Structure 1
Amino acid sequence: MVPKADGIAVTMRKLGIEPDIVKYSIFIDALCKKGIGMVSGAEYMLDTMEKQGIGPDGVMYDMLIPALSKAKDIVDKMRKKGIEPCDGTYNTLVDAYWKEGMPTGAVGIISTMRKQGIEPDHATCNALMEVMRCQ
C-alpha cells in the first residue's frame, strides 16, 4: 500500500499539480475509509507531507482516529506537534472506542474532555447515547 500512496504524490507532480494540505487530506481520508489495511498508507502520506513542510492540522489527525485501534497514540502525536484535541477530536474518539467494542473507553473520554476544559456538546452526548444503547 505504501508504494501506491507515494505514487499518488509523484503522479500529481508529473502532471504539474503540487500536493497541498487539501489534497493530502483527501487522500488520507480516502485511505482511512478503505479500512485498517490502508491505514499504513495514510500514516505514510502524513509523514510524507510533514517532510515536505506541510503541517497536518487537527482535522487531518481526526481522520486517522476511526481507522486506528491506537487512537490514543494519534492524540499523543497531535499534542507533540502542538495541536490540541478539540471537541470534534473527542467525539471521534468516542465513536472509535465504541466501534472497537470498548464502551468504557468511550465513557472515559468525557472525563478527559472535562479535564482539558472542553464540555461535551450535542454530538458527544449523541455518540455516548449510541454507546449506551448498544451495550
Structure 2
Amino acid sequence: MDFTGEELITAPRDLVWAALNDPEIMRGCIPGCQRIERLSPDAFEATIKVKFSLLSATFHGLLTLSNVDAPKSYTLSAEGKGGIAGFARGSADIVLEKRGDETILYYRARAELGGKLAQLGERLLDSTSQKLAVGFFSDFNAAVVAKAATG
C-alpha cells in the first residue's frame, strides 16, 4: 500500500521540524497512540491501538528516523507486533518545503500488514491506512499551528 499527500502548515519550517521530533506532539497526532517514548535521538518506542473494520489491535513497536537532513526531510519507519492480529510495518518519507512563513509538508507512505490483518482484504487495509495517515497529518497541522500561535 503506497499513498502520498501534502499539508500546507501556516508555521515556519523550523517549528514544523521541531514538532516532527517532539514525542508529545506525535503522541497527540498519531491516531490511537497510547504511549510514545524516546529511546535515542533517532528511535522511539510506541503503543498504538488501531481499528480495522471489526478487528482492533494494539501494536507495540519501534519508530526510527533515518535519512535525516534537518530541517528539510527524514524517513520515519515503524514496525509493530499486534499479537494474534499480526504485524504492521511501514515508512513515510517526509519533506518540508519552506514557503515564506509557511511550510509545505509532503509525504509518501508505505504500509504492510501480516497475519489476521492481512486476511481482511487489501481494499479495506488500503482505505484504513490512508485514513490514518490523513488523520495524522491533519492533526499534526492543527497542533503545529496552535503551537505557533502560542509562541
Normalising by structure 2, we get a TM-score of 0.25
Which protein has the bigger strand share? Answer: 2
Structure with larger RCO (C-alpha < 8 A, sep 6+): 2
Normalising by structure 1, we get a TM-score of 0.27
Which protein has the bigger helix share? Answer: 1
- Structure of higher CA gyration radius: 1
